[in-house]
Amino acid sequence: MSELLEPTEVLDRTMGTYRRAAPLFASGAGAWVTDGDGKRYLDLISGIGAACLGHGHPRLAAALAEQAGGLGHVSNLYRHGPGEELSWRLCERTDMDAVFFANSGSEANEAALKLARKVQVLRGRPHRQGLVALHGGFHGRTFGSLSVTSNAAYREPFGGMLEATFVDPGDFDALGAALEAEPAALILEPIQGEGGLRELCPRFLRAARELTEATGTILIHDEVQSGGGRTGTFLAAEAAGVTPDVVTLAKPIGAGLPIGACLARGEAATALVPGDHGSTFGGGPFAARAGLAVLDELDAGLQARVGELGDRLAEALDAMAERHGAVFCRRGRGLMQGLVIPGHAATAVSGLFDAGVLACTAAGDVLRFLPPYVLTDDDLELGLERVDGVLSTLPSLV
């Protein structure tokens, strides 16, 4: 807590882009945060999927303190150890050849879209500039990433976008037709996060791979929310056995520090050359050290633990969906799961908030959980108890 700020004081001059909840969070430990009045909340949303090591993680803290006591930020004009080690380890883990480091998911996608167009230019097909994306997809708020985000309400206030065609996930014919039109790239989330925790079926993911290969379209998987170990594997698409040309990551890979990664293989890995793209902060020593700490923890057993927690969460949420008439079904995988509660997901979020649990909605009707990977057994049990309690206050669907 800054010395200038009393916990109860409101000094907020940030723009009104969020409807923020009232309390001022003051401290955190593990999966818990505490507000200025001392009320504790179980954090089942981890900064919308970013703070995968929770709060006050000792090894993350030690790594960052060590970095802060040594080499600071040097920009991408110079080489540094943490960035290079992270680039190597992320490529190894994703089967990619090279990475561009950005600061966020939107920026990672921005790099991916530019990269796709550059590949088409290098192939002698500069006319291939269009983009194909899926209904329900969310890729960010910068102009490029917004252009391929399907929610028209997010795009409409801002005028002209990049040319994009949206197809329904599962509509193989529409996808085929859109790719025949020779776009630069197809971008999709293997599990749509903001779109309501919708998993694309493995057959559709494989068809997307085959059709993009056949039509010379760059396939971009946006795993900003589903990647980084969150679903039990490092990438969600591993389960379908699909490797894209480009994959983007952000959120959990920095454990809360801002980092995004656009990873590419083959010709896409070498398409960008000096002057094509850049970032002052991208992949700096601090964010890279955080990324290395996350990978170390995943290697030391946390990845398996996410899988185990995910299975237990799925089982418990399925049972709740059976028991509570307000719930339509469970969705998602690993520590990216939620319940479809038509008409009442927001009420569930505020009920949980009052009960000391942080969660959020997705696509209006989904109560979404993106808990930190460091959730203990007791945390999980207590969280589920409180979710159960709130669900029992909601009206039945029929």
Q: Report the interface residues with ligand PLP, using CB under 6 A.
A: 48, 104-106, 109, 138-140, 189, 193-194, 222, 224-225, 250
**Calpha distance 212→206 (Å, rounded):** 10
CB of 106 vs ligand PLP, minimal distance in Å: 3
Tokens of 90: 């992320």
The answer to whether 179 and 186 have CB atoms below 8 angstroms apart is yes
**Calpha distance 92→24 (Å, rounded):** 40
CB of 230 vs ligand PLP, minimal distance in Å: 11
CB of 122 vs ligand PLP, minimal distance in Å: 26
Residue whose CB is less far from ligand PLP, 35 or 223: 223
Q: Where are the beta strands (DSSP E) in 177-243?
A: 185-188, 191-192, 198-199, 218-222
CB of 295 vs ligand PLP, minimal distance in Å: 19
**Furthest C-alpha separation in the chain:** 62
Residue whose CB is less far from ligand PLP, 139 or 331: 139
Residue whose CB is less far from ligand PLP, 112 or 298: 112
Nearest one of 101, 54, 360, 79 to 250, comparing CA atoms: 101
Residue whose CB is less far from ligand PLP, 225 or 361: 225
**Calpha distance 189→223 (Å, rounded):** 6
**Calpha distance 368→196 (Å, rounded):** 8
Would you call 9 helix, strand, or coil by DSSP? coil
Q: Provide the residue type at 251 as one letter.
A: K
CB of 259 vs ligand PLP, minimal distance in Å: 9
**Calpha distance 259→337 (Å, rounded):** 23
Residue whose CB is less far from ligand PLP, 194 or 245: 194
For residue 319, the cross-strand partners are none
Task: Write out 87-98 in H/E/C secondary structure.
Answer: HHHHHHHHCCCE
Would you call 218 helix, strand, or coil by DSSP? strand
Residue whose CB is less far from ligand PLP, 45 or 391: 45
Residue whose CB is less far from ligand PLP, 46 or 225: 225
CB of 225 vs ligand PLP, minimal distance in Å: 4
Which residues, including other chains, have CB under 8 Å from residue 154's CB and lie 6 or more apart? 141, 146
CB of 86 vs ligand PLP, minimal distance in Å: 17
Tokens of 225: 């929310």
CB of 111 vs ligand PLP, minimal distance in Å: 12
Nearest one of 33, 30, 52 to 336, comparing CA atoms: 52
CB of 124 vs ligand PLP, minimal distance in Å: 31
Nearest one of 151, 331, 370 to 251, comparing CA atoms: 370
The answer to whether 187 and 139 have CB atoms below 8 angstroms apart is yes
Measured at CB, which residue is nearest to ligand PLP? Answer: 105
Residue whose CB is less far from ligand PLP, 187 or 375: 187
CB of 1 vs ligand PLP, minimal distance in Å: 26
DSSP conformational letter for 122? H
Residue whose CB is less far from ligand PLP, 262 or 320: 262
Would you call 314 helix, strand, or coil by DSSP? helix
CB of 376 vs ligand PLP, minimal distance in Å: 26
Residue whose CB is less far from ligand PLP, 87 or 106: 106
Q: Where are the beta strands (DSSP E) in 65-184?
A: 98-102, 131-134, 164-167
The answer to whether 44 and 332 have CB atoms below 8 angstroms apart is no
Residue whose CB is less far from ligand PLP, 248 or 316: 248
